[in-house]
Amino acid sequence: MRIGAATLVLALPLLCLSVSSCGKKKRLPPASASPAPLPSTAPVLNAESGLASWYGYPYHGRRAANGEIYDMEQLTAAHRTLPFGTWVHVTNLTNEKTVDVRITDRGPFVDGRVIDLSHAAARVIDMIGPGVARVRLDILSLPQLPAMANLFAVQAGAFKDRSRADTLRAEMERQYGSARIVLRDGAPPLWRVVVGQEASQSRAGRLAEQLRSELGNAFVVRLDQSAGQ
């Protein structure tokens, strides 16, 4: 069959486009260096600001709240409510130096402080000398947790004397129905009294306000499943 000149003229541009597209490879966007996105089930957490402190001895070499042996020369930190295994980007607002740390412990239990850094992490952002610094915390990644792990309580007190902790625990249990003692290993050890078992931080926060009116000091803490005694 003979092909007309007009038909051939129309076909050539289409053939060129086809050959051109076959000869070029698609360029994929470069891989991102940022952390993997949080799972859709993870809560949305805003940046948190406040004072950071750091800790070394007498906790170095002792068991942290997550069960690991605390090494003050690793990039770890203590936080009252973030799940163990959370990665946090810490910015020293005095000098803009930053460090990424993994949450392995509970604390600090001082009003106004939001995180306790390891010695190594504090050194990275130049806060060893001052001891404390104003910081901003940005969540990099959260571990996936079962629903039962998202429980909160209120720390009503912390004592070096176990008998005093027992007395407060018994009183809190009479008033609020649920109280327990959690050991923080150290030299000497610290006996923490935590009250309640709430399904959200906001509900635990209301309980904390009530306890502050009675005791003068109380903090919302994550109720770790392996921590109760």
For 188-226, write each residue's pLDDT tens digit.
888 999 999 998 999 999 999 999 998 888 999 998 865
CATH number for the region 148-222 comes to 3.30.70.1070
Whole-angstrom distance, CA of residue 110 vs CA of residue 153: 16
Q: Residues 56-79: what's their mean pLDDT?
A: 94
Name 153's bridge partners. 221
Q: Is the pLDDT of residue 64 over 80?
A: yes
pLDDT value, residue 2 = 45
Mean pLDDT in residue range 40-47 = 50
Provide the pLDDT for residue 138.
96
Q: For residue 181, what are its two tokens? A: 């003692």
Rounded Cα distance, 225 and 28, in Å? 44
Asked if the domains 48-141 and 148-222 are classified in one and the same CATH topology, the answer is no
Which of 4 and 184 is assigned the larger pLDDT? 184
Q: Are 101 and 80 in contact (CB under 8 A)?
A: no
DSSP string, the chain: -PPPHHHHHHHHHHHHHHHHHHHSPPPPPPPP-SPPPPPTTSPP---EEEEEEEEBTBTTTSB-TTSSBP-TTSSEEE-SSSPTT-EEEEEETTT--EEEEEEEE----STTEEEEEEHHHHHHTT-TTTSEEEEEEEEEE-----GGG--EEEEEEEESSHHHHHHHHHHHHHHHS-EEEEEE-SSS-EEEEEEEEESSHHHHHHHHHHHHHHHS--EEEE--TTT--
Higher pLDDT, 3 or 190: 190
**Model pLDDT, residue 150:** 82
Q: Is the pLDDT of residue 177 over 80?
A: yes
User: 16 falls in which pLDDT band (50, 70, 90)?
Assistant: very low
110: CB partners within 8 A, 6+ apart: 53
Q: pLDDT tens digit string along 123-174?
A: 999 999 999 999 999 999 999 877 667 899 999 999 999 999 999 999 999 9
Residue 29: predicted pLDDT:
39
User: 186 falls in which pLDDT band (50, 70, 90)?
Assistant: confident
Q: Model confidence at 52, in pLDDT bands (50, 70, 90)?
A: very high
- Round to whole Å and give the CA distance between 33 and 15: 40
What is the average pLDDT value for the chain, to the nearest integer? 81
Out of 3.40.50.1220, 3.65.10.10, 3.20.20.70, 2.40.40.10, which CATH number does the structure's domain 48-141 have?
2.40.40.10
Q: Is pLDDT above 60 for 41?
A: no
Q: Where are the domains of the chain?
A: 48-141, 148-222
Decide if pLDDT at 184 tops 90: no
In terms of pLDDT, which residue wins out, 219 or 23? 219
